[in-house]
Amino acid sequence: MSDEKYIFSAGAKKNLFITLAVGIVLAVLGVVLMNSVGHHDSHGAEHAVETAATHAGDHATHGEHATEAGGEHHAEYSWVHRLKANLWINNLYFTGLAIIGVFFICIQYVAQAGWSVGVKRIPMAMASYLPIAAVLMIVVWLTSNHELFHWTHASLYDVNSADFDEVIYNKKGYLNFGFYMARMVIFFGVWYVLFIQIRKHMLAEDIEGGTTRWKKLVGLSAIFIVFFGYSSSIAAWDWVMSIDPHWFSTMFGWYVFASWWVSGLAFITFVAVLLKDKGYLSVVNANHLHDLGKFVWGFSIFWTYIWFSQFLLIYYANIPEETIYFVERLKSDFYSKIFFMNLIVNFVLPFLLLMTRDSKRHARILKVVCPIVLVGHWFDFYLMITPGVLKENGDFGFLEVGLMLIYASTFVYVVLHSLAKHPLVAKNHPMYNEALNHHI
C-alpha cells in the first residue's frame, strides 16, 4: 500500500497531447477569425466607462485619469491585445495553482496535521510547475507590458507631455521597471528555493523516518507562510491591480489569494478523487475526502466573504477612483453577465452542492463541484484582467478556450510527470498512522 507509485501511462500522455493540439488549433482559429471579421464590439462597457468618467468628474480629477487610462494608450485595440491579455490571465491562474501547492504543504506541517499525509504528494507535484510559471510570467510581461499595463508608458511621467499623469507620476517610486521586475524575480526565486528545500526534506523523510526532517519542515513551512503572506499580496497588487493604476483596493491581495487558494484546493481534491478511481491512494478514504470537501466548501464561502467585503466597502464609500472598477464590470452588457455568473459558479453552486456531510464524502459530487470551481475561478481572473486591459473590446471565444486548454494540458502534464517520479504516499511520515486511522 505505502509503496504505490503513479504510472503516467502512454494513454494519459496521448490525451494531454490531444488536448494541447486542440487548444493550439482553437487559439489559431480564434486569431484568424478576429483578423477576418474584425473585433470592435462595444458590449456596453464604453457606456460604463463614460458613466464612470462623468461621475468621477463631479468629484475628483482622478476620474479623468481613470478614463484616460482606458483611452490614451489603449485607444487602438487589435487581436494582439486580446492574445496578450489572455496569456496574462492564464499565467496568473496557473501560477496560483502552483504556488498554492507549496502553501498547502506548509499549512499541513505548521498545523501538525496528520489527516493529509496521504495527499501531500499532489500539491508537491503542482509546485513543480513554478519554474515554468516564472519564465512565462517574465517573458510575457517583458513582451506585453505596454499593452497590459498603462503605467509603463514613459510619456505619463513627462511633465511637459500632454499625456502627463500626476497620479501615476506620484507612484513612480513603486511602479517602475527595475523595482517591479526585482519584486517578480525575488518572489519566484524565494518561492522556488523554499519549495525545493521543502521537497528535499519531504523525500528524505520518506526514506529516513523519524521526526528530524519533520521538525525542519515545520520551520521551513513557517518561513514560507510568512513570506508568502506578504509576497502574495504584493504580487496581486503588481500583477493584477496595477493594470488599473488609478484604482486601488486594500483588500485586493486577500481577494486574489482567496481565488488562488480555493482553486488549488479544488485541484488537489479533484486529482485525489481521480487517483482513487484509478486504484491509487488506498490510504485515502471517505474521511480524507470529507476534509478536502470541507476545505473547498469553506473557502468558497471565504472567497465570497472577501468579494462581498471589498464590494460593500467600495459601494459604501462611493469614491470615484474606487467605484470605477465595479462600474466597468457591472454596467457593461458583456461583463455584467460574467460578473453575476462569477458569483453563481464560485459561491452558489459549491455552497449548495457541498452543503451536506454526504456530498463532501461522495466522489461523484466532488468530481462535479471541483471542475466547476476550477473553471469558475478562471473566469474570476478573466474578470479581474480583461476589462482593465481591453475595456469595451473584451470578448470570449476560440482564443480564450484554446489558450486555456494549452495552459491546462501543460500544467497537468507537469503535475502528472512529477507525481510519477516518487511514491504517492510518504510511508515513513511520523503521522502516517494517524492518517490511516483518521475518522470524522
C-alpha cell at 209: 523516518
Bridge partners of residue 423, in order along the sequence: 5
CA 182, 187, 193, 196 dihedral sign is: negative
* Number of neighbours of residue 3 by Cβ within 10 angstroms: 8
Does the CA dihedral 382-33-405-414 come out positive or negative? negative
Predicted local distance difference test score (pLDDT) of residue 42: 44
At residue 430, the pLDDT reads 87
Helix axis angle, 363-390 to 252-277, nearest 10°: 140
DSSP 8-state code for residue 428:
T
Rounded to whole angstroms, the Cα distance separating 303 from 43 reads 28
Give pLDDT, residue 428.
84
Exposed / middle / buried, residue 76 (Cβ in 10 Å: 0-12, 13-18, 19+): exposed
Residue 383's pLDDT is: 96
Helix (H, G, I), strand (E, B) or coil at 405: helix
Q: What confidence score (pLDDT) does residue 78 get?
A: 83
Model pTM greater than 0.95? no
Mean pLDDT, consecutive 10-residue segments, the chain of 440 residues? 83 97 97 75 46 45 43 65 96 97 96 92 97 97 93 92 92 94 97 97 87 94 97 96 91 96 97 95 92 96 96 91 90 94 96 94 95 97 95 92 97 97 87 84
- Taking the C-alpha atoms of residue 259 and residue 302, their distance in angstroms, rounded to an integer, is 9
pLDDT in the model for residue 38? 56
Cα–Cα distance measured from residue 47 to residue 328, given in angstroms and rounded to the nearest whole number: 9
CA gap 95, 102 in Å, rounded: 11
Q: Would you list the DSSP string of 156-209? A: GG-TTSTT--HHHHTTTTTSSHHHHHHHHHHHHHHHHHHHHHHHHHHHHHHHH-
123 CB-near residues (< 8 Å, 6+ apart): 100, 101, 102, 104, 105, 264, 268
Distance of CA 309 to the CA centre of its chain: 20
Helix ranges, 240-362 (H): 252-277, 286-317, 320-330, 335-343, 349-353, 357-361
Longest dimension (CA), the chain: 72
CA distances from 141 to 98, 181, 217, 239, 304 (A): 19, 9, 33, 9, 30
pLDDT confidence of residue 2: 55
Return d(Cα 284, Cα 206) in angstroms, integer: 17
- Contact (Cβ atoms closer than 8 angstroms) between residue 39 and residue 308: no
Measured between alpha carbons, how far is 62 from 323 in angstroms, rounded to an integer? 12
Note the pLDDT of residue 37: 67
What is the distance between the alpha carbons of residues 46 and 66, in angstroms, rounded to a whole number?
A: 13
CA dist 394 and 41 (Å) reads 8
Cα torsion 242, 243, 245, 246: sign: negative
Phi-psi region of 284 (alpha: psi -120 to 50; beta: other; left: phi over 0): beta
What pLDDT score does 200 carry?
95
Q: Tell me, what's the pLDDT at 64?
A: 44
